[in-house]
């Protein structure tokens, strides 16, 4: 499903089942020491997806250690993102010569608790969601917003090294094009000499899942 919302130059691999035979690299083991068994399975399977995506890019599959905040440390020349939720694991990777960053997120397609929606959004965003629910009630727009904001963070943080709060990005959705736009309320990253004020992305709802993705393409001549 990820490949439907990302450019063809991004290698996408996903699965709905854990892979108990997938290997773990030595540099990944520290992140697993305090994990309960279900968390270990999703960790291993998601990294298996990422290594499969590396191979699709023509990159030798390697270990993906975790940084101090749990972020993946990709091999030189590769950027990407991983995600997991109940019944789904996925990874999307590209060469850095093609994209500055790729961010993805997956969530179960179900209603978000009201207190959580109030925490991640501002009144104008909630009004936007109510309008969308009136015309497209088949989508849980609150969960889609949560997923999109998670994806925005996965794009923002690697480019800036900074934290981005849920309310630091104001979301709008196009239900026909299945796109979203995130207006940054804090200084954005400088990409190809331009400070970004927005991120744009794509989304899909299918098979009980919400998937969101952002890919920031590298400008020609900037490689």
Antiparallel, parallel or unpaired: β 198-206 and 179-184: antiparallel
Please say whether the beta carbons of 89 and 45 come within 8 A: yes
Residue among 80, 133, 125, 75 at smallest CA distance from 102: 80
Q: What is the pLDDT of residue 19?
A: 85
DSSP 8-state secondary structure symbol assigned to residue 32: G
d(C-alpha 151, C-alpha 129), whole Å: 18
> Residue 21: what pLDDT?
79
| Residue 98 burial class via C-beta count within 10 angstroms: exposed 0-12, middle 13-18, buried 19 and up | middle
- pLDDT recorded at residue 223: 54
Question: How far apart (Å, rounded) are the C-alpha atoms in residues 157 and 152?
Answer: 9
Q: State pTM to two decimals.
A: 0.95
Task: Tell me the per-residue pLDDT of 10-33, one tens digit each, with 9 for 90 and over.
Answer: 999 999 999 877 889 999 999 888
Tokens of 135: 């015309």
Residues of the chain with pLDDT under 70: 221-223
pLDDT of residue 131: 98
Paired strand residues for 210: 107, 205
Please count the other Cβ atoms lying within 10 Å of the Cβ belonging to residue 47. 24
> Given its phi and psi angles, is residue 84 left (phi above 0), alpha (psi -120 to 50 degrees) or beta?
beta
Please state the length of the chain. Answer: 223
- Calculate helix-pair angle for 123-135, 141-160, nearest 10 degrees: 130
List the domain boundaries for the chain.
Answer: 2-104, 109-207
* Res 141: pLDDT: 98
pLDDT of residue 221: 62
> What is the CA angle 15-69-158, rounded to 5?
75
Instruction: Identify whether the C-beta of residue 105 lies closer than 8 Å to the C-beta of residue 143.
Output: no
């Amino acid at each position: 499903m990820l490949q439907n919302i990302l450019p063809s130059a991004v290698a996408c691999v996903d699965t709905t089942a854990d892979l108990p035979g997938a290997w773990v690299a030595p540099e990944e083991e520290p992140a697993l020491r305090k994990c309960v068994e279900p968390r270990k399975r999703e960790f291993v399977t998601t990294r298996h997806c990422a290594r499969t995506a590396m191979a699709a890019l023509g990159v030798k599959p390697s270990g993906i250690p975790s940084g101090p905040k749990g972020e993946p440390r990709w091999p030189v020349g590769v950027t990407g993102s991983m995600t997991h939720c109940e019944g789904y694991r996925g990874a999307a990777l590209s060469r850095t010569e093609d994209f500055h960053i790729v961010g993805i997120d997956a969530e179960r397609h179900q209603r978000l608790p009201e207190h959580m929606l109030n925490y991640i959004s501002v009144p104008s965003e909630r009004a936007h969601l109510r309008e969308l629910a009136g015309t497209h009630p088949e989508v849980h727009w609150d969960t889609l917003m949560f997923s999109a904001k998670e994806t925005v963070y996965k794009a923002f943080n690697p480019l800036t090294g900074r934290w981005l709060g849920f309310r630091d990005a104001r979301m709008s959705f196009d239900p026909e094009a299945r796109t979203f736009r995130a207006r940054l309320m804090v200084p954005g990253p400088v990409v190809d000499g331009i400070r970004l004020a927005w991120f744009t992305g794509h989304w899909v709802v299918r098979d009980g899942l919400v998937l969101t993705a952002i890919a920031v393409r590298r400008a020609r001549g900037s490689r």
